[in-house]
Amino acid sequence: MKWFVYIIEASDNSYYTGITTDLKRRFQQHLNGSGAKYFNGRVPISIVYSEAGHDRSSASIREAQIKKLTRTEKEKLVSA
């Protein structure tokens, strides 16, 4: 199964990083309030970055790597 690592920009200009097998479905879940608790009090604006071609394990590892990045490093990744 193909997994994605993604970054969503939230209404407070913060970034949320996650993994999924279906980007469209997962974004809808975040919009509908059935996604991550991170979006309680925030609104997901858009997916600003995604990587495809991962398996579950490599997606989880990459998600952890991205979450450890500074805001500036994440901005560079998003703008690349």
pLDDT in tens, 52-80: 999 999 999 999 999 999 999 999 999 98
pTM score, whole prediction = 0.94
Per-residue model confidence as pLDDT tens digits over 8-37: 999 999 999 999 999 999 999 999 999 999
Domains observed in the chain: 3-79 (3.40.1440.10)
Q: Sorting pLDDT into bands at 50, 70 and 90, what band is 50?
A: very high
Asked if pLDDT for residue 1 goes beyond 90, the answer is no
39-78 residues labelled b (16+ CB within 10 A) or e (exposed): beebebeebbbebeebeeeebeebbeebeeeeeeebeebe
Instruction: Say how many Å lie between the first and final Cα of the chain, rounded.
Output: 26
Q: 6 has which bridge partners?
A: 18, 50
CA atoms within 13 A on the CB side of 75: 5
